[in-house]
Amino acid sequence: MTDVVLIYPYFQSHNDKSMFRFPPLGIGYIASYLSRHGVDVKIIDCTFQSESNVIDQIKLLNPKIIGIQCILSTEKNAIRLARILKKTDNLLIAGGHYPSIDPSLFLNDFDLAVLGEGEQTVLEIAQNSRDYKDISGIAYKSGDQVVYTKPRKVVEYLDSLPFPARDLFPNNVYQTRWRNRFGYSMTSLIATRGCPFNCDYCSRAVSSNKYRERSKENVVDEIEQILSYGYDRIWIADDVFTLHKDYVMGICDEIIRRDLKCQWECLSRADTFDTELALQMRESGCVRVFFGIESGSNDILHKMKKHLTVEQAASAVDVAKKAGLDTGAFFILGYPGENDDTVLQTIKFSNSLPLDYASYAFPYPFPGTGLYEKVKDRLLPKYWNLPSHGLMKHKLVFKSEFTEAKLKFALFKGNTLFKLRKHCGKYGFIPYGFFDKVTNLIFRLMK
């Protein structure tokens, strides 16, 4: 009998084209923390498996406790697995982003939900699996009522946590997928936790708004470990990795001092990025930086509470390109308060930037965000039941000023213009200008 089995219930679609497909570090951290304290723990990453195979593995391991990580897009898988496993004598735990936001949605099928960061909480549950009501940071049902225990404080000293249990992940399968699609392999790393900003569409239900940093040496130690597993590149998955320039510069210095042959990528805010930082990042092996730009309208950026301007965004992308970095950016089309002009403005702005990658998406109202509060009375039934591929993977999940068809046309326009510019050159290429004008007209005429 295994003490604890942790499950990541993402079953990969054959049409999955995402470039952000990595082992689940959240349960990796919990697994290593449990193992450090003598708990026998296994991870089942469903990404490359069938549901029936996963069920067979769980039966074979016969765990005392089963923890299932749940984000919004895996809610159905998590609950379906829980209903199958409910027939056994295991303690079922829901954890991760969605249960931390609204545990009541899970407590009909799970025995309890872990709220927020889970390392210490799950360890205490494992040590007191049938007497958990005094454990901080959980929710459970008593009759028809949801009971919340005392909130658990976040981990202040991140170096106290062991590295994620990468030995429990199917690294070879991830590496093969990456190399077959992109010619190199990449996995993720978390250097900091928490985000002090309050963007209207962003939820920080797990890591909170309390920003914390690992030591530079600790981060680079993990980079060395990742390289020893045979990965070629690292995605630093922090929300605000470049928040403190001196911190990032210090990590770059340490990578250079150790002479690590390491390529890496990260996400940055436009207002925390400058030439000196870009050049140092490039020297230490950074090859690409992504920016959450979101809109080409300063008015919409204000509504999103981004505390950024389009001028800052354009400057940051330009700085990155001049430093020799590839650039990517994310944009949202159809945010509450938008009109035809602002949507087209975002598409035009995004295609004026020297980007190597651009992603356009609909606004998705995560519970607990300002965006959710704005549209919660307009949510459509089963609003997170999303298709999995192509333009169809984008679904308008609330009653908007725009129809879903009109916003999908905007996505099509943005993606097509980006491909025309990237592959054929923006200036002097007649179909680009012609397509832009015609699609502008069609978009404005659409209902």
| Helix intervals (H) in 37-107 | 51-61, 75-85, 97-101
Same domain, 408 and 306: yes
With a cut of 60, say whether residue 328 has pLDDT above it. yes
pLDDT of residue 445: 96
The Cα–Cα gap between 417 and 405 comes to 18
Closest CA relative to residue 217, chosen from 244, 257, 188? 257
Is residue 229 included in any domain, yes or no?
Answer: yes
Same domain, 182 and 144: no
268 and 412 assigned to the same domain: yes
Q: Please tell me the predicted confidence (pLDDT) of residue 118.
A: 95
Predicted pLDDT at 387: 47
Asked whether 268 and 281 are in contact (CB, 8 A), the reply is no
Q: Which of 124, 256, 241 is nearest to 190 (CA)?
A: 241
Tokens of 174: 């991830």
**Same domain for 214 and 119?**
no
Do 234 and 87 lie in a common domain? no
Burial 48-69 (b: 16+ CB within 10 A, else e): ebeeeebeeebeebebbbbbbb
Q: CB under 8 Å to 272, separation ≥6 — which residues?
A: 240, 242, 243, 245
- The enclosing domain of 440 has a CATH number of 3.20.20.70
Within a domain: residue 110? yes
407 and 346 in a common domain: yes
- Check residue 129 and give its pLDDT: 66
309 and 434 in one domain? yes
Tell me the average pLDDT across 312-335. 98
Specify which residues 187 forms β-bridges with.
234
Contacts with 112 (C-beta within 8 Å, 6 or more apart), sequence order: 91, 92, 93, 94, 125, 132, 138, 139, 140
* Torsion (CA) 248, 192, 72, 394 in degrees, nearest 10: -10
- Relative orientation angle of helices 245-257 and 216-228, to the nearest 10 degrees: 50
Residues 6+ apart with CB under 8 A from 245: 272, 274, 276, 277
- 382 — alpha (psi -120 to 50), left (phi > 0) or beta? left
Per-residue pLDDT at 383: 53
Percentage, residues of the chain above pLDDT 90: 81
Res. 389 pLDDT band, cuts 50 70 90: very low
The rounded distance, in Å, linking the Cα atoms of 77 and 68 is: 10
**What is the per-residue pLDDT for 124?**
96
What is the average pLDDT across 111-131?
Answer: 92
- In the predicted model, what is the mean pLDDT of residues 69-87? 89
Structural domain contains residue 220: yes
139 and 225 in one domain? no
414 pLDDT more than 70: yes
Percent of the chain scoring above 70 in pLDDT: 95
Q: Are residues 196 and 268 in the same domain?
A: yes
Confidence label for 394 from pLDDT (cuts 50, 70 and 90) = confident
**Does residue 84 share a domain with residue 226?**
no
158 lies in some domain? no
Confirm whether 35 is domain-assigned. Answer: yes
Domain count for the chain:
2
For residues 287-314, give the mean pLDDT. Answer: 97
Distance CA 129, CA 166 (A): 25
Whether 88 is in a domain gets the answer: yes
Tally DSSP H helices, then E strands, for the chain.
Answer: 15, 15
Of the candidates 81, 115, 148, which is a domain's last residue?
148
Last residue of a domain, one of 114, 148, 182: 148
For residue 395, is it within any domain? yes
Condensed to tens digits (0 to 9), the pLDDT of residues 339-375 reads: 999 999 999 999 999 999 999 999 999 888 999 999 9
Q: Per-residue pLDDT tens for 426-444? A: 554 567 788 999 999 999 9
Average pLDDT, the chain: 92
How far apart (Å, rounded) are the C-alpha atoms in residues 62 and 379? 40
* Structural domain that includes position 356: 170-445
Average pLDDT in the 282-296 region?
A: 98
- Of 148, 179, 210, which closes a domain? 148
CATH number of the domain bearing residue 63 = 3.40.50.280
- The phi and psi torsions of 407 (rounded to 5 degrees) equal -70, -35
274 near 319, Cβ under 8 Å? yes
Same domain, 336 and 427: yes
What is the pLDDT, as a whole number, of residue 204? Answer: 79
Q: What is the pLDDT of residues 252-261, one digit of tens each?
A: 999 999 999 9
pLDDT at 391 over 50: no
Can you tell me the mean pLDDT for 397-404?
Answer: 94
Q: Are residues 243 and 316 in the same domain?
A: yes
Whether the full predicted model's pTM is greater than 0.85, yes or no, is yes
What was the pLDDT predicted at 15? 67
Is 157 part of a structural domain of the chain? Answer: no
Q: What is the mean pLDDT of residues 285-293?
A: 97
